[in-house]
Amino acid sequence: MATATMTPPKVRQTNMLVGGKWLESRSGKRFPTVNPVTEQVIAEVAEGDAADVDAAVKAARAAFDSGPWSRMDARDRGRLMNKLADLMEANIQELAALETLDNGKPIRDALAADLPLAIDCLRYYAGWADKLTGDVIPIRGNYFCYTRREPVGVAGQIIPWNFPILMAAWKWGPALAAGCTIVMKPAEQTPVTCLRMAELAQEAGIPDGVINVVPGYGATGAAIVKHPGVDKIAFTGHYETAQKIMIDAAATLKRLTFELGGKSPNVVFADADLEAAVAGAEFGLFFNQGQCCCAGSRLFVEESIHDKFVEKVVARAKTRKVGDPFDPNTTQGPQVDSDQFNK
């Protein structure tokens, strides 16, 4: 945990990763990623389009079909994933600071939650790499029936801006453990930690083409969804975008995994531990500036304790310290951008 106000770090990588090479976009276009605190540009990042996505998919396809990853001993895949987790742990201060710079979340949260959880996620799935077993199925007759689990192929992965590094780990972990290759589009608001993670993946020894990162806007994600060389889409974001993905993926019958938003209620009855319920309700709503898929954004409180509960929740909310997210005493940073602030 940081004990003094940290200095924002230098952004090391702003190009896209395709087939193990760090490239400008084919169009030469770049887009700004903005510091939510100052609304000033942090860096200009390569903006991928359909041509860049095609190159990334071809690289991922080659790495899967004829490269080492899907054929590698599963335990060796797990070893490389653990090495990536080790490198992230060794660079935890830098990665947390990049997350705070690009997303605006308090450094105390990035260090206490986002980075440890991302590292744990990769280690968890590294442990699964050599434990993906099939089943033996009893059937009628003198037959032996069994199933085996195999990697699906190229996974297209589209992630949001609220937990950028953790979302990347959640998507990379199971895909890499299974032997899949990846084409990821990070959110246009927060691309820099994903790009830095990809650098560390190279340093860990994950082969070229296994992880490809193509930053950009919605059209970049749509190109991934529509590409016939992509076998699966994993998406976290808004339900309306998921509806469009379902339509666009239908032509190629892609497998789909969605994690969408919700309006999660907290229910508090009169016999509850009031202090614990107030603390839980305040955390559920305010954590990560309320920018959570499962934010506790509704409260149902039994009438007999309603007024007392509201009084306590308001008093607790007033104690939050809004300010510079690099100050370890700050508990509430800015919303990620002006669109979210206005909402």
Is 259 part of the annotated catalytic residue set? yes
Smallest Cα–Cα separation from 68: which of 209, 172, 214, 232?
209
Is 292 part of the annotated catalytic residue set? no
Rounded Cα distance, 102 and 192, in Å: 7
- Judge whether 134 and 147 are in contact, CB under 8 Å: yes
Catalytic residue selected from 121, 282, 293, 294:
293
Catalytic residue selected from 259, 292, 302, 303:
259
For CA atoms 61, 67, 71, 72, give the dihedral sign.
Answer: negative
- Judge whether 22 and 201 are in contact, CB under 8 Å: no
**What amino acid positions are annotated as catalytic residues?**
259, 293
